[in-house]
Chain A
């Protein structure tokens, strides 16, 4: 048997959670080549690389249409910008695959970033980052406890903590912005290694950790299983409660790290840091091909989507597109991407129905 270069259905670990499709009958008369094509999982291919392909096209178009786009400084800015939403999106990807989500990441980001900037001048860079991550993890633990132990639906629980944390941050900070421009602190958000922005490198590192957690640990397997069918997972002996609790903690930890990076980038952090941040994060994850319903998704897609959003905003700025039109554009891209997804899924369903004889 030839080693397949591209994912084929039988070798797909994700499919273990969707057993309905794995038992497809293969006609033995069909030749090797066409069988290989038939066995190519276009579905998974699109899920994994679809958005990356779109990103590649957007970059080529942008480079051709916008003179200043393909300029090393500008590309570095785009990649840097993708990191601040991206790091939080790594955690959110895991949450959405598990079939849940977290609306409090915007408030968490504000409090964590403020903590980092407020602590850095007195205790140094490392304690500042650790404190920001710890604040995120604590809020995650609170969210997880509310969802798992108190059994409040994730939407309401995290909406509640969103208001709670945001209000608390305003009270704690007295509405004042913290400011610190120490060289070793702001390097983490602004520095370059070669021509690659430091926060982007950290973003890729986080995404790699996220992918490892998802695909190489039993926790990751539980996440996929619960996202596909929480009830069945519970019956099968998956520790659903513990897993979901830990998912929220993971979201908080990544959000805290992203927040510290943003504080470093801005040399400052105010109590109302980035309005609508949680929705940007969720939009990034969904654009990256992760199903909002749970059970499927990819970290690679999230990375590509974060870069795509940053690219979009950059290209629109470079072309002096009005800010209101920019919002329309972001909305359209999201709707278009999800429409493509929806239409594709329907086509796949129809195709599968026709392929399988009703014997």
Chain B
């Protein structure tokens, strides 16, 4: 037990931040071992950013404790931050400073930043550091924030919705950068409200709702419980295999309207694909439900009041 605790990159015990009127984060017990990529999933206002700001010592807990590499996140915050790379949810504004100046400014405050590593990340994202911050698009601002979080090769990365504003190409580059950091021994705590995103990169996922951690799942478990909404349009001359579809594993809520079939698919698509095999399909659209719909399907609970910590 003692060895396990020493190895934990992040450990929280009954961590609570109560904003009143049911808003905040309540009794969070979490343990994340080193070199794990942990996805922190929850809808808007569920308490993800509150958790991250508590871990970073930006806000003080109402109760409980948070430890990073065995150090108290509030009392030993300077030592903690030496080992952490942080990407905040709201990208900070640097006005008319150039990107190169922002990097040098924060690098100067932090110390020990490898200029070659900075250059490598900037090249990877094709981020022009000679431009003024004010002139950056929102995607480029996010890239700069990612660079600031990764530039000192931290042992722990705490990232609050890091891909917001990035196009799919740069999202892929970011996932690769995250993988490289993990291969170099870093631990990653990564918040998101997109289910498919955490599937891409995470080893484990914590699901947060209304300020409470409702589930910590391994990736394969998450894949098993995930839901997709599917719409299939069959060719005019093809028979709709309604019977096969109804009996297919994982297929639920089936409805047929002419040549169009709508259903939800739990977990693997194998059952659905077997059912429509050999039938001519004109169009097939699979959409990921929102987290709220996922919660409704998975937990069977109505949407709670929106939280804005």
Please determine whether chains A and B interact with each other in the same assembly. no
Q: Which residue numbers of A lie inside 8 Å of B, CB to CB?
A: none
Q: Which residues of B contact A (CB under 8 A)?
A: none
